[in-house]
Chains A and B, each alone.
Chain A
């Protein structure tokens, strides 16, 4: 893929973008709830041409010794080679692992799920909650799309019945104990210009990136700075405020249900 770095940087310096967006404007966001029947919860999220699936699977397992009365959250992300000519077959590489960890922290640190309610017998049996992210088309800002997809899937997830011995996946009724809806907002710095929701091209030329996850009450639950340049203290102050503000708008989109893939 050939990217004209000079062109994108020159545009950014003038405060314009190749797709004519404002610096702090997202692309079109669409969310489809529960597209699949096998996972306990699922969602497809599109931000522009970036398309991401999230699926929640619940199983029963042994809790960690240091949290015997809490369920277990496991987040994983797969950059499938269907999504980009850059992705190759093989185990997750550092970008996929970083993405999974940001999704994990968004859910874990916000206490989005009341993990104590996922305890079946303290010290013995708890619900194991797998949140799997699967990228279908990469056009930048996979983090915000993935966190939105994970949160949407948590919202629509239904727990299978468990009789103490066997899980009955044919009967799913109870919703997950969801307390908060974490969302992530990602900024990119190109030269001295700062934008939100970078496209694939923009993320290839960015000097620094900042992802901020927030919850419904405006508290911040995870921050990740990336890239090889830095932000000034003033820039960080400004972006944290923007992330809270824009996070609210993203959270509102979670109640909409679009038809992206039809089966």
Chain B
């Protein structure tokens, strides 16, 4: 596969500038902010907490609920607040991307609520949201089998490239987001729209999974930094 030249000068296998911060919202049980270039996703986790009405409860495990939404000023043209068919579908695939990672049987009859807010949309919002949700769940101290990392790939001028930005997304003729649990080698989200030969789909999967490992390290580092900072603050308090 040859390397595409891209509007922002990145290489085909290069993700945008990445920043992950855990524990950004005091009220939430866990939270995280993820930015990939101009795309910014915030996730908050509340729970495990009681689930009402009772008929929604599962007697043997927690219910994981995910809501994906976008702020009205996060796009080039203002987008109307409230659920859309798109946001409902993304909420569903996000839940199914995260479910395999969470030990839900530890918390019967409860709900673990994951709220994802896209603060700014410049392509790759569902994958940014999954990364944020993964770190927020870990930040909440919810037992997990592994972190869930996610990235999307596409095609620019006949060449495949990772993590398209908004300008590139307007031109691409294929889009393939994946979510992945590296430790057990489990792909937990896979979507594709486009028109691609089988071999190319395999190549793009390779490309995406390589970037996933980079995100995996970044997620772990963000969690480590969050607890180092918390420990320092604790120390400062006991000294003061």
Contact = CB atoms under 8 A, between A and B. Distances in A.
Chains A and B bind each other = yes
Interface of A: 36-39, 42, 49, 51, 53, 55-57, 59, 76, 78, 80-85, 89, 91, 130, 132, 134, 136-139, 169, 261-263
Contacts of A83: 25, 27, 44
A78 B71 contact: yes
A81 B71 contact: no
B223 to A, nearest CB: 17
Contacts of A132: 71-73, 78, 81
B162 interface: no
A150 B7 CA distance: 34
A39 B76 CA distance: 7
A96 to B, nearest CB: 10
Interface residues of B, number: 36
Contacts of B92: none
Contact of B120 (A37, A49, A80): A37
A82 B19 contact: no
A38 B21 contact: no
A130 B69 contact: no
Interface stretch (B31-39, B152-160, B171-179, B211-219): B31-39
Nearest to A89: B67
Chain A at the B interface: SS class: loop
Contacts of A39: 73-74
What are the 7 closest A-B residue pairs judged by CB atoms, nearest first? A55-B73, A82-B44, A39-B73, A57-B78, A263-B35, A132-B72, A82-B115
Nearest to A49: B26
Contacts of B31: 82
B71 A134 contact: yes
A82 B117 contact: yes
Contacts of A137: 25-28
B74 A38 contact: yes
Nearest to B79: A57
A36 B73 contact: yes
Contacts of A81: 44, 46, 67, 113, 115
A81 B83 CA distance: 14
B117 A38 contact: no
Contacts of B64: none
Contact of A38 (B35, B44, B75, B81): B75
B79 to A, nearest CB: 9
B120 A36 contact: yes
Contacts of A38: 38, 73-76, 120-122
A82 B28 contact: yes
Interface string B218-240: 00000000000000000000000
Given A38-B38, A134-B71, 9 more contacts: A38-B74, A38-B120, A39-B74, A78-B81, A81-B44, A81-B46, A85-B27, A136-B117, A169-B76
Contacts of B72: 55, 57, 76, 78, 130, 132, 134
B142 interface: no
Contacts of B44: 81-83
Given A55-B73, A57-B73, A76-B72, A82 B25 contact: yes
A196 to B, nearest CB: 21
B71 to A, nearest CB: 5
Contacts of B135: none
B151 interface: no
A76 B71 contact: no
B69 A80 contact: yes
Contact of B42 (A37, A57, A82, A85): A82
A37 B166 CA distance: 13
B26 A139 contact: yes
B40 interface: yes
A49 B76 CA distance: 30
A261 B82 CA distance: 25
Interface string B65-107: 0010101111111100110000000000000000000000000
Nearest to A38: B120
B119 interface: yes
Contact of B19 (A57, A85, A263): A263
Interface in B10-60: 19, 21, 24-28, 31, 33, 35, 38, 40, 42-44, 46, 49
A132 B82 CA distance: 13
A189 B41 CA distance: 38
B73 A56 contact: yes
